[in-house]
Amino acid sequence: MSIISDSLKRIKPSPTIAVTQKARELRAAGKDVIGLGAGEPDFDTPENIKEAAIQAIKEGDTKYTAVDGTPALKKAIVEKFKRENNLDFTSDQITVGTGGKQVLYNAFMATLNKGDEVIIPAPYWVSYPDMVLLAGGKPKIVKCDEKEGFKLTAKKLQKAISKKTKWLILNSPSNPTGAGYTKNEIEDLAKVLLKNKKIYILSDDIYEHIKYDNFNFFTIAQISKLKDRTLTMNGVSKSYAMTGWRIGYAAGPKDIIKAIGKIQSQSTSNPSSVSQAAAVEALNGVQDFIHERSNAFKERRDFVVKSLNNIKGITCLTPNGAFYVFPSCKGFLNKKTKLKTDTDFVQKLLEKSNVAVVQGSAFGLEGYFRISYATSMKNLQKAMERIKSFCESLS
């Protein structure tokens, strides 16, 4: 009889973390591996944010805090939503967790009963389905094709809804595709949701500030009649290059926020006091660097997209935001190459060319692979040369 919980049999380890770890191991073994798997900005945390953390330590701000966030950080989050999204919240509608991932996990643990369905557009961030499964729910995967820009349509949403539907997850700009929903597209989805009044929306806005080409970010809670049914998650990890600080937050209905706090009180308790002090400065301090860094990401995006589309057999859409591209490798999955799946493709790419990427099937859509361009232009240039040579060797 195994001591391991049956619930763990329903899930798998994170594929993106696995790829990143594999790249680390190969580099440690002396291989010249270029890792394009990590969803992490390569920029450093800005100095003013680091100084705020140092000051907090010097002032003895190193004790337990309120379970779901300090008053100062909740105030900064309330002001952020008002300033940037024209959304009014009170502090008891805010929760802070140890990263956006914990906030999402807590939300599902606090709200899902056995058999409750969660609509998840694919391609999706790898952790969504497994979090739902751990909480006893049922992921309802809706595949969104390349011709649809990898985005959920109102027609597909309506078709996916059942009597058991409890949540819809929206992620814009998206991981893994970088696709962003326009205001009109969100309003079309909202028309369906307004007719189905028992469905809640989880809006994952973690890449809100990493956007390009005059893309106008719009979050679904801005549609007033849906605000009371929306949990809007965000954080400081991507926009402020604070992945290791582990601070995520969400705003939403008071009953959900209170339930999330109850879960957190019996798991991690409060996020790091020092990280919370740093997050206050991140949200309240100077924001100019965000635009500057987005411009740098855009330059990399343009280079990567152009390079990939110049490789025979590869096609790649131009994303609206985040720091990923999601090219198709379907042209190489055939008898001639002896590659049957995108997993075969990425494994062979790593083996032959020392470039680590993540297979599209990990994100719920077979025949693609994800590249993170959150690395130096020098690394990207080398990686594109290697990918091109690898693809030419298959032709």
Same domain, 303 and 251: no
Is 197 exposed, middle or buried, given 0-12, 13-18 or 19+ CB atoms closer than 10 A? exposed
Within-domain flag for 295? yes
Return the pLDDT at 328: 98
Name residue 250's beta-bridge partners.
95, 233
Same domain, 279 and 293: no
Q: Which domain holds residue 188?
A: 63-284
Given 284, 312, 342, the domain boundary residue is: 284
Residue found by looking up tokens 């025949």 in the block: 367
Tens digit of pLDDT for each residue in 261-273? Answer: 999 999 999 999 9
Rounded-to-integer distance, Cα 361 and Cα 34, Å: 21
Tens digit of pLDDT for each residue in 340-363? Answer: 999 999 999 998 999 999 999 999
Q: Which residues contact 362 (CB under 8 A, 6 or more apart)?
A: 15, 16, 126, 370
Please report, in angstroms and rounded to a whole number, the separation of the first and last CA atoms in the chain: 50
Q: Smallest Cα–Cα separation from 327: which of 381, 296, 372? A: 372
Phi, psi of 202 (to 5 degrees): -105, 110
**β-pairing, 248-251 with 324-325?**
unpaired
Phi-psi region of 30 (alpha: psi -120 to 50; beta: other; left: phi over 0): left
Same domain, 101 and 135: yes
Same domain, 280 and 304: no
CATH number of the domain where residue 260 is located: 3.40.640.10
Return the pLDDT at 8: 84
Give residue 225's pLDDT band: very low, low, confident or very high (50, 70, 90).
very high
Same domain, 311 and 194: no
Within-domain flag for 306? yes
Same domain, 91 and 230: yes
Within-domain flag for 58? no
Residue found by looking up tokens 């939300």 in the block: 107
In angstroms, the Cα distances linking 163 to 116, 202, 224 are 9, 18, 24
Rounded-to-integer distance, Cα 220 and Cα 22, Å: 37
Rounded-to-integer distance, Cα 307 and Cα 276, Å: 40
Return the pLDDT at 232: 98
Same domain, 254 and 299: no
Within-domain flag for 1? no
State the amino acid at position 192 in one-letter form.
V
Tens digit of pLDDT for each residue in 268-316? Answer: 999 999 999 999 999 999 999 999 999 999 999 999 999 999 999 999 9
The answer to whether the CB of 138 falls within 8 A of the CB of 116 is yes
Within-domain flag for 338? yes
Q: Smallest Cα–Cα separation from 189: which of 140, 230, 250? A: 230
User: Measured on CA atoms in the order 220, 224, 226, 229, is the torsion positive or negative?
Assistant: positive
Rounded-to-integer distance, Cα 237 and Cα 206, Å: 8
Same domain, 297 and 280: no
Same domain, 369 and 303: yes
287 by DSSP, 3-state: which? coil
Give per-residue burial for 72-88: e unless 16+ CB within 10 Å, then b.
ebbbbbbebbeeebebe
Rounded-to-integer distance, Cα 198 and Cα 366, Å: 32
Return the pLDDT at 26: 81
CATH number of the domain where residue 350 is located: 3.90.1150.10
Q: What is the largest CA-CA distance in the chain?
A: 66
Same domain, 279 and 306: no
Overall domain count for the chain: 2
Within-domain flag for 52? no
**β-pairing, 230-235 with 248-251?**
antiparallel
Within-domain flag for 180? yes
pLDDT above 90 (res 72): yes
Given 231, 258, 284, the domain boundary residue is: 284
Return the pLDDT at 21: 80
Give per-residue burial for 272-288: e unless 16+ CB within 10 Å, then b.
bbbbbbbbbbbbbbeee
Given 252, 284, 316, the domain boundary residue is: 284
Q: Which residues contact 127 (CB under 8 A, 6 or more apart)?
A: 14, 101, 104
**One-character DSSP codes across 253-277:** -HHHHHHHHHHHHTTT-SPPHHHHH
Tens digit of pLDDT for each residue in 104-152? Answer: 999 999 999 999 999 999 999 999 999 999 999 999 999 999 999 999 9
Same domain, 229 and 365: no
Same domain, 260 and 136: yes
Q: In 10 A of CB 38, how many CB atoms?
A: 19
Return the pLDDT at 22: 78
